[in-house]
Amino acid sequence: MCTMADPRFPAPDDAAPSPVGPPRHSRGVRLGRVLGVEVRLDRSWFLIAALTVVMYGPVLWRVYPGLGWLNLVVAFGFAVGLAVSVLVHELAHAAAGRRAGWPVDRIVLTLMGGHTSFGTVRTRPLPTALVSLAGPLANVALAVLGQVLLGAAPAGAAGPWWALAQLLVIANWVLGLFNLLPGLPLDGGRVVEAVVWAVTGTEWRGTAVSAWCGRGIAALLVLWLVWTQQWRQPAVLVVSLLVVAFIVAGAGQALRQARLLGRLDAVRAEEIARPAMEFTPTTPLSLVDATVTAATGDDYRGWTPDVVARDTTRGALGVLDPALAARVPLPERSRVALGDVCLWYPAYAVAAPRTPGGELVRQLEAGRLRWLWVADDAAPVTGVVHHEDLVRHALHR
């Protein structure tokens, strides 16, 4: 099935660096770029292509025995046509995402269809719903167009390629309508998530509700297999179990993500920030050492304050890098300026004191930042939020 990767967080195969850990590299074959979007074919696609040939090849052979081995070519053509239909689905997601201002990383065609990988964005319910609907509606439009063209064809046009066209029309109906089902990780689940988010004003609640809806859909699919006794057909059983496993895994991941966001949104920037002491960038490192030592005497309890600096001439915010500072020998610390041992980020690396933790994570990942200053507008900095502190809070609270 086709899905839209969650735009709030990098997709699992996203090669972009993340503060959480080392970058992951995309697998599979690079097919090129379509409408400016990189398209990759995951190695798992070849498994579903082989399964398609095994399922439909013998059926076509019984209907068109005179074609012989050419029936397998037609069956493989269905697998390729299905991949093209998935690509149209994902391109619709990508186009709608760009219209909403989302950065599009790549499209990956996989065992269970495909997904569009977006860069981390700060989104709202309405654009999330519209981008999610774009993919399934593109498949429905393809199905309607195919139905019209088949209906206008001459009566004597029946044959193996005619059967292939009919299969592709049916496949697009299935891709479109199935992905509109209201549960994650399907596209319809993103719509449910957006609606609950808009009603409750809480993003993670929408994700949780939609994830449970996805689990319900998986349970109904299993009941359908048993009730209709479709499990007796090996090919149908294999495909159905793959779909059920895909939905269960995706819904479980979404539910874990909702719990994570719920824990993060319960904390505010000012509650998790480390204390900070601000100096000018030209302050000698020896003076910084003496000031911090005096402020954190024997009776001091808590975090050692982060040393920060503000460079107003180039609109940058800095935090002292302990590793860089440690390399400066003691005799030279009076000649080395604080700004020379800081890590610098643009002035947008700042958050208001009451910013929720989930928004802090999105801000950090969207800007590829390791930390955020905590301050109200142009007021003095009150603390520094580090990415690792947010992760620790979310995972070990």
What residues form the annotated binding site for Zn(2+)? Answer: 89, 93, 187
DSSP state of 374: E
* DSSP codes, 8-46: TS--TT--S-BTTBS--PPPSEEEEEETTEEEEE-TTHH
Beta bridge partners of 39: 32, 107
Cα(335)–Cα(286) distance, rounded to whole angstroms? 8
Cα(385)–Cα(381) distance, rounded to whole angstroms? 11
**Do residues 147 and 43 lie in contact, with contact meaning Cβ atoms separated by under 8 Å?**
no
Cα(213)–Cα(204) distance, rounded to whole angstroms? 14
Residue of 38, 90, 203, 278 marked active site: 90
Which residues have C-beta within 8 Å of that of residue 199, sequence separation ≥ 6? Answer: none
Strand 316-320 relative to strand 342-346: parallel, antiparallel, unpaired? Answer: antiparallel
Cα(349)–Cα(269) distance, rounded to whole angstroms? 13
**Do residues 76 and 52 lie in contact, with contact meaning Cβ atoms separated by under 8 Å?**
yes
Beta bridge partners of 34: 37
Which H/E stretch holds residue 110? strand 104-110
The identity of residue 122, as a single letter, is R
**Do residues 175 and 113 lie in contact, with contact meaning Cβ atoms separated by under 8 Å?**
yes
Residue 263 CA to its chain's centroid (Å): 19
**Do residues 343 and 370 lie in contact, with contact meaning Cβ atoms separated by under 8 Å?**
yes
Active site residue 90: yes
CA distances from 46 to 26, 50, 108, 253 (A): 16, 6, 13, 25
Write down the H helix ranges in the chain: 45-63, 70-99, 125-152, 160-178, 187-200, 203-227, 234-265, 269-272, 285-295, 322-326, 357-366, 387-396
The identity of residue 269, as a single letter, is A
| Catalytic residue ranges | 90
